Chain A
Amino acid sequence: MTQTSDAPDVLVEVTDLEVYFPIKSGIIFDRTVGHVRAVDGVDLSIRRGETYGLVGESGCGKSTLGKAILNLEPPTAGSVVFDGTDIASLKGEDLRHARKRFQMVFQDPMSSLDPRQTVESLLLEGLRAHGLDTDTDATRARLRELMSDVGLPVAALSKYPHEFSGGQRQRIGIARALSVGPDLIVADEPVSALDVSIQAQVINLLQDLQDKLGLTYLVVAHDLAVVRHISDRIGVMYLGALVEESGGAELYDVPLHPYTRALMSAVPVPDPQVEDTREQILLTGDLPSPANPPSGCRFHTRCPWKQETLCDTERPQLRVVEVSGASDSHRVACHFAEKIASGEIQRHEVEATITTPGFGGPDAGPTAPPEAYIGV
């Protein structure tokens, strides 16, 4: 484990971050009738050199949070202080220049590479945008270095993305992120589109690069095992907010939030013996709509430990709890975390409720016919 020293050197400090997407509707002119609360009040800090993992179910706002941290999705409220500057309030050229310090790696290695650019021009683009390509020889050397960093032959520079396999494309994506020499890399599901063997290759690569370049990672994934494998600290997200945060091993050993427990127990392990004996906490129902989140604790509708009081009225804040095995960097947002840990509160059945996906978007008209025929 590469835990940093006692005096944490914080690289990114996220305070009270909110990202709301307006839902528009209206008779003649659209007006906002509600919001999708994709990210709904997140506090977190990422230390220099660490890997922070973010897990949660699909649609809980992981990607949005990741993008908001990089100001690729303008936050509705809150601040993101990156090494002393508030990125969330940056705009235009300032923001563009600041981007040199933080980069992103995407989930789908194909769609995140412009199919019409050679690898070389893909990589050069970042250099150019930040005026790093002044010297031709140095640039060439830099490109070579990048390629060898991500384990691709130099010959690949002149090829197009479609000429590579999935894993290789992801390497190109990583090289692109590295090209401008960032401190922070936000990786949004960097391996979930890949086959297991390729996935492992990329995970290894990410780790190697971190060791070599001293990078800080924010890794977003829905696969708890992957996150657990690469992260120093893990944040568990549910419906736009963090419900638990702790060191990786500790989270596995002492999960405090009911949701974390359920999540943990749901991950299948490729070992029949474990599988046969594993106790599963089966959640009922699905993630509620972020456009209309439940009151109080967001998880109370599915929580097997839900209590009559508090849960559906008051929204729990992240806090450090006194539970054996939990360190003081372990925070959880549950009113009854201690009682659940001590066994005082027992699990019970939950009646499933139906969650209707989607949210009243604007009146979508009928699908248009193929455009090509309109002219006839």
Chain B
Amino acid sequence: MDDNTGPSRRPTLGDRRKERIDALATAGTVVDEPGKSLLRSAWERLRRDPVFLVGAAITLVFVVLAIISPWIAPWDVTANPLIDKVRPQSNPVPGPEPGHLLGADDRGRDLFSRLLVGSRQTLVVGVFATLLGLLGGITLGALAGAIGGFVDTVVMRIVDVMLSFPALLLAFTIASLAREPSQWTLIIAIATTQVPIFARLLRGSMLAQRSSDHVLAARSLGVRPRAIVFRHMLPNAMGPVIVQATLSLATAIIEAAALSFLGLGNPDQRQPEWGQMLGLAQRYISEAPHLAFYPAGCIIVVALGFTLMGESLREALDPKSRR
């Protein structure tokens, strides 16, 4: 251990040094601090982020309402208790009265109950559309990202074309293709608009994963290709997709509202849905704008909740923005 070949003298270290090296090398204490997991530190940040908290609160209230609304709604949404008060000219939409907080709609159905229960359809459409979109996007993106080459080119060309269509127009096209509109047409239409976004996102991060060292390492270990895709690439590539999904929920809700506003939603309009309520309100916009105001407000607030949550989630998870 001497450095006689070196041109300069260096002090030799005492015996304690060897001990220490050995001790440290074998003990090799596992450190906790430096690389605190991204998720955990993200959570730490989120917990204190007022923007996130507001978003989460809105979302939570909305989800809870959507789940329990049928039980807490004061009226059956399909019943029309105030029908006899409706007069197309003199009283098109009965105003508030005891028992009917916000009055009724144009067929005497309790408006408040419908708004409340409307959250349910909205949530169902938003969630299912996003889930379906995720499913499709993940499949396509994973195919393109995992196989690459020709498959990638073909899939991405399709995705690019889909992306270049304005989302609403695309959804509209899909929805109008259905012979009979239903809630599922709506969901599928919106999911379709989400597919290319998720696909591109996933494919991008899959590609990044593909050329990453840890995948190369797995490959050099001789891990089977399928295991590489499912154990290494996909899980690591999912982060941005998940964040996007949160944001997509907001878009899905807005799009669903727009489509059912255009009459492409559930043909059974007895079950309330905010977009469809907005659509109905259009006829009364001059005389009873509140009919449009409530559902529009609900849509905005809920979309806001998801967006705020998604945005702050994205910022929290993005190492770049952790300044």
Contact = CB atoms under 8 A, between A and B. Distances in A.
B163 A153 contact: no
A180 B214 contact: no
Nearest to A123: B221
Interface string A155-168: 11001111111001
A372 interface: yes
Contact of B26 (A104, A153, A173): A153
A106 B26 CA distance: 23
A31 interface: no
Interface stretch (B32-40, B76-84, B270-278): B32-40
Contacts of A110: 35
Given A72-B219, A371-B201, A164 B251 contact: no
Contacts of A106: 213, 216-217
A130 interface: yes
Contacts of A156: 28, 30
A164 B224 contact: no
A113 B214 contact: yes
A201 interface: yes
A96 B212 CA distance: 19
A125 B221 contact: yes
A330 interface: no
Contacts of A165: 31, 34-35
Size range of the chain B interface in the assembly: 35 or more
A174 B38 CA distance: 24
Nearest to B238: A116
A322 to B, nearest CB: 28
B158 to A, nearest CB: 15
Interface in B1-21: 6-8
A270 B32 CA distance: 34
B214 A111 contact: yes
A268 to B, nearest CB: 14
B222 A104 contact: no
Size range of the chain A interface in the assembly: 35 or more
B197 interface: yes
B110 to A, nearest CB: 34
A343 interface: no
Interface string B205-246: 000000011101111111110010001100110001001100
A260 B200 CA distance: 46
B163 A112 contact: no
B299 interface: no
Contacts of B116: none
B244 A151 contact: no
A162 B30 contact: no
Contacts of B161: none
Contacts, number: 134
B214 A112 contact: yes
A114 B31 contact: no
A209 interface: no
A163 B32 contact: yes
B30 A159 contact: yes
A125 B223 contact: yes
Contacts of A375: 167, 193-194, 197, 247-248, 251
B214 A151 contact: no
A37 interface: no
Contacts of A271: 6-8
A231 interface: no
A371 B239 CA distance: 13
B204 interface: yes
A98 B222 CA distance: 8
Contacts of B35: 110, 161-165
A246 interface: no
A206 to B, nearest CB: 13
Interface string A110-135: 11111111000000011001100000
Contacts of A125: 218, 221, 223, 227, 231
B314 interface: yes
A168 to B, nearest CB: 6
Contacts of A72: 216, 219-220
Nearest to B153: A30
A130 B222 contact: yes
A116 B235 contact: yes
Given A97-B222, A201-B25, A371 B197 contact: yes
Interface in A203-227: none
Contacts of B196: 374
A302 interface: no
A70 B221 CA distance: 11
Interface in B175-191: none
A1 interface: no
Nearest to B232: A114
Interface in B267-323: 310, 314
29 contacts: A67-B216, A70-B220, A72-B219, A96-B224, A99-B220, A104-B217, A104-B220, A107-B213, A111-B212, A112-B214, A117-B232, A125-B221, A126-B223, A151-B25, A153-B28, A153-B29, A164-B35, A168-B30, A173-B217, A176-B217, A180-B222, A271-B8, A273-B8, A274-B7, A371-B204, A371-B244, A375-B197, A376-B167, A376-B251
Given A107-B213, A125-B231, A375-B247, 12 more contacts: A102-B220, A103-B221, A112-B214, A112-B217, A115-B38, A153-B30, A163-B32, A163-B37, A372-B197, A372-B314, A374-B163, A374-B197
8 cross-chain pairs, A with B, having the tightest CB-CB distances, nearest first:
A99-B222, A112-B213, A162-B35, A126-B221, A151-B25, A375-B251, A104-B220, A114-B214
Interface of A: 67, 70, 72, 96-100, 102-104, 106-108, 110-117, 125-126, 129-130, 148, 151-153, 155-156, 159-165, 168, 171, 173, 176, 179-180, 201, 271, 273-274, 371-372, 374-376
Interface of B: 6-8, 25-32, 34-38, 163, 167, 193-194, 196-197, 200-201, 204, 212-214, 216-224, 227, 231-232, 235-236, 240, 243-244, 247-248, 251, 310, 314
